[in-house]
Amino acid sequence: MTYGIGGTCAPGVLMGVAAGGVAPPTAITLYADGTLHPRTQTRAAIDGPQDPNYGITQGVPDITTGTGTFGIAWNDTAATAGNVPPNAQYSTFQVSMTNVGGGTNMEIDAADYWTNWVPLGATSGYPDMFNYGCYADGGTGTGVTWAWSVTITGQSLSNGTVAFVVGTPLTVIDGSFGTNGWTGVGEYIGMQSGRSGGPAGGDTINISVTATATNAGGTATGTFLHDIVFI
């Protein structure tokens, strides 16, 4: 909570009017896209199969142990109705997936995941990827500019595996897949294994996707969190 003259304001908003008389942008609420569907409120969509080369040049679906359609890069368009369980797993290695307020939490079976990554060329540099599509509702004001960012806030990965940020962030309000294609907000996560193996049980990755509206009066932000735990 931010404090200012007269009380408090919403998280992520700097309160008050600047010396030049410009009010800061209004509070931001994230959605999967511009339809503002309430089931996706405060969340971003994760949808690797939006990339036509998913499972060909990047991305790890369950090609060996499942249907070869979905992988880590999938949260059923951020809808709470898509949580696993109670729904059946979308991929064999995504054993749980919960779209919670402000984020998506996943548990990934490390051994099953590695079984599917190896035949794609894991130890030869073939990368997995997680992409994000999101729309920022709000952030209105005088002279507002926009910026999206995808940040790895923490990673603890075994066997030389490393996650990294790829791409160029968008500078517009709409970072949805429907508007921008598979790159969504512009930046996405790539991940490469080490030569000796991939993630192991107990490994974690923590990612944040943030929309920032800025003007002469201050800033407003909306953030989605993607937390992955390998088991």
Q: Which pLDDT does position 17 carry in this prediction? A: 59
| Confidence check: pLDDT of 195 > 70 | yes
Tokens 């989605």 belong to which residue? 224
| Confidence check: pLDDT of 133 > 70 | yes
Per-residue pLDDT averaged across 176-184, rounded?
98
Per-residue pLDDT averaged across 49-58, rounded?
98
| Confidence check: pLDDT of 211 > 70 | yes
CA distances from 116 to 23, 55, 59, 132, 190 (A): 52, 10, 11, 22, 16
| Confidence check: pLDDT of 15 > 90 | no
Q: Which pLDDT does position 14 carry in this prediction? A: 54
Q: What DSSP letter does each residue of the chain carry, written as one string? A: -EEETTEEE-TTB--S--TTSPPPPPPEEEESSTT--GGGTT--B-BGGGSTTBTTTB--B-TTTS-SS-BSSB-GGG-GGG-BTTSPPSSTTEEEEEEETTEEEEEE-HHHHHHHHGGGTGGGTPPEEE--BEEEEE---TT-EEEEEEEEEEEE-STT-EEEEEE----SSEE-HHHHGGGTTSEEEEEE-BTTB---TT-EEEEEEEEEEEETTEEEEEEEEEEEEE-
Average pLDDT, the chain: 93
User: 211, 219 in Cβ contact below 8 A?
Assistant: no
- Percentage of the chain with pLDDT > 70? 91
Angle (CA) 171-148-192 rounded to 5° is: 125
| Confidence check: pLDDT of 4 > 60 | no
Per-residue pLDDT averaged across 56-66, rounded?
98
Q: Which pLDDT does position 60 carry in this prediction? A: 98
Tokens 């994760």 belong to which residue? 46
- The pTM assigned to this predicted structure is 0.90
Q: Which pLDDT does position 16 carry in this prediction? A: 57
Model confidence band, residue 9 (pLDDT cutoffs 50, 70, 90): low
Domain that holds residue 188: 2-230
Per-residue pLDDT averaged across 71-75, rounded?
98
User: 75, 84 in Cβ contact below 8 A?
Assistant: no
The number of folded domains in the chain is 1
